Structure 1
């Protein structure tokens, strides 16, 4: 149905899956319906829950088969001994007093393992079994042996990251061991030293196996060495309380990887369907461990470098320009940053382009609003949250200050220009003198020409099919789209948020150095106020929104968890 461009919500797919699964999944389906919000539950998360439950069922089936086989062998052995010794067991089936003379005449009970009664007569029949010690008569919550063997299991609760991987306590301190985990929502690592960069502002709750909720200390990128070369593991949570590092199968699939399980081997393929690794199952706990060595630049790391964090906060702006911001004192509250020649994954996915054509020296404005560049970008294949498909930029040639507006159709351009003209002329106290644009119909309509003529605005229209003549706005469109694409790809956000990413890119570019403006950012050249970097955050990161007193009761939460998407205009 999606192939015919029909919009199918995840909620519909989730409901369809829950209805279609076989009867053996009824317990987990009931649990999901009672504890999860089906309107927000993703298909990937649901498949992880069902997969983890299926593995648990398979493990119990294997245990039951082994016990039955052992019981059958033991019963045959007992009957053979009795025949050899001349003993008889004629009235054994009618005997119900279970005296000492007959206590070994039953196979081991499937519940308590004793041999003096049948399973249907066991006093523990119908009572719960502890998931921790496997004994009958109590549940895991009240297990006395709980502290002896801890496991990294986690319950499903809203707003928390979850773990399904279970392992015995070990003394292993190596940070190179990773385990594939189908029930883990996110990649998780226990050692901060293996991170290439980390955003310590990301705090996520993680429920551990001993029912303790811990908070992650950040989220970042880990560089590892494999037989196929250096690889980056992005969006990894730092959780110091973990016993082992965990690789989320669901997150790997979202990144384009394919995992094929066959026998005791897991084959991993990249997004080009090339095999990049094989993982053998560990027999003792049926897990899939991967040994990954740290990248060379991580082992030599001696101090915390925030360059990558600020690179992401500035919408993947180049680190050389960020270093200039500090050196030229163009922004307040910005730390000293190192210039880094490496490219992050978001930049590689979003910024590849051809080398520019050579350009000659162009005429430049000598004052604010003396020359305004404008251009439209679109239509986008995916509509924004407000159903917009285009955005229009206005760039002041003198300060390189940029304004962005989002529109549904090109016919709205004239009304947007009048709104923009009123805004900037009120703010600066100056008048727009020249407007440079292409020859699109949205700029050459009769009403547009008449308005500019009445307001005394000179028109500069480029030659048809020569976008290079409108180079300032064309390059700005290109830069804005590269930044927006990189921010969306790095956080794995859907293209529906392209408008928020574009707005954030323009907001950041107005606070970044420009070759044309000497020792100032565009916003300082426009209003004379030096900007601050204190409020800058990574696009797409977790944030907490304060709920005013008027909209909550006394015992309700003061904040709501959300995703940071754009800055306020005020």
Structure 2
């Protein structure tokens, strides 16, 4: 090209000419803000505007559209499910919370059995505690169930990729599956459970206008309840029934955050002292057949079997 024109030498045996003009479709695609071309063709087909030229049906791939409109393809729902307990465990860490819990925790760690969808929750002050908590959970759950953890699925958080954590898995013969970076959909079981736990915990606290430091107790209660409620992944049974083999008992449930009165033993009071103290119900004990209660004045948490509830 010389200047603004192509040079043509008639003495050459072969010459070729190529159009440098963009098609109307490409030009108007840009003029219309890279709007969807099929939708633009509707303007032409139905004569919806004036001064609009004839456009070609197809346009070449637009790089600007690829850069500006690119989206991730939806993930297909996983069809594979574990066929026995502890064959696959999902895990994730949620946090940190701006407000520490009553016990000073800022994170919670969950483990979900893929077969039964039974969930266990632990509260942490630091993410560095994950490896130690997992090792204790492994020993406890394998003893209780009589099965061995075969596969563990987690994200790529540093708490899961540390040398200590990898060494634990290698020594125990556990296959540790890591999801692709920035792809939480691959760890969807844990992500959905986190959201469900937080939604229920938020509702529990809002119901009684409890301050944010009760988040751990509300989350613990949410997991306790969710294990005893129906879930789409388990048809016709609750996670509790699939795991333990019998239906859960719900008659002892109380309203989270309600007021309760706890009997004071005679040895701890004088004759004219109160025979009962006011406490707040904050959950269910997993180590004994008792309720977890909290006294705001003394900041004490304890378990009690005998409580008289106000506002059940």
TM-score when scaled to structure 2?
A: 0.66
User: Please, which runs of 5 or more residues in structure 1 have no aligned partner?
Assistant: 1-356
Deviation of the 1:474 alpha carbon:
0.5
Give per-residue Cα distances to partners, 1:436-482, cap 9 Å, x unaligned.
00011100111111111111101110000100100000000000001
- Give the equivalent residue in structure 1 for 2:105: 388
- Give the equivalent residue in structure 1 for 2:214: 497
Of 140, 143, 149, the match for 1:432:
149
Deviation of the 1:417 alpha carbon:
0.1
Distance 1:546 1:531, change over 3 A: farther
Deviation of the 1:548 alpha carbon:
3.1
- State the distance in 1 between where 2:240 and 2:108 align: 20
- State the distance in 2 between where 1:361 and 1:369 align: 18
- State the distance in 1 between where 2:267 and 2:83 align: 51
Deviation of the 1:551 alpha carbon:
2.4
- Give the equivalent residue in structure 2 for 1:397: 114
- State the distance in 2 between where 1:546 and 1:463 align: 54
- State the distance in 2 between where 1:534 and 1:548 align: 27
- State the distance in 1 between where 2:77 and 2:122 align: 30
Of 454, 472, 477, the match for 2:194:
477
What are the within-5 Å matches in structure 2 for residues 11-160 of structure 1? none
Of 166, 169, 179, the match for 1:449:
166
User: Please, which runs of 5 or more residues in structure 2 have no aligned partner?
Assistant: 1-73, 289-312
Of 252, 268, 290, the match for 1:535:
252
- State the distance in 1 between where 2:196 and 2:92 align: 13
Check conservation: 2:142, 2:149, Cα contact below 8 A: yes
Deviation of the 1:529 alpha carbon:
2.7
Deviation of the 1:372 alpha carbon:
0.3
- State the distance in 2 between where 1:422 and 1:548 align: 38
More relative contact order, 1 or 2 (CA 8 Å, 6+ apart):
2
Q: How many residue pairs end up in the alignment?
A: 214
Check conservation: 2:75, 2:185, Cα contact below 8 A: no
- Give the equivalent residue in structure 2 for 1:417: 134
- State the distance in 2 between where 1:550 and 1:536 align: 30
- State the distance in 2 between where 1:427 and 1:500 align: 24
Q: Indicate the RMSD between aligned Cα atoms, in angstroms.
A: 1.4
Deviation of the 1:557 alpha carbon:
3.0
Deviation of the 1:414 alpha carbon:
0.3
- Give the equivalent residue in structure 2 for 1:466: 183
Question: What SS class does the counterpart of residue 529 from structure 1 fall into?
Answer: coil
Deviation of the 1:543 alpha carbon:
1.2
- State the distance in 2 between where 1:526 and 1:554 align: 49
Of 265, 274, 284, the match for 1:557:
274
Give per-residue Cα distances to partners, 1:268-298, cap 9 Å, x unaligned.
xxxxxxxxxxxxxxxxxxxxxxxxxxxxxxx
- State the distance in 2 between where 1:549 and 1:369 align: 48
Distance 1:558 1:520, change over 3 A: farther
- Give the equivalent residue in structure 1 for 2:234: 517
TM-score when scaled to structure 1?
A: 0.37
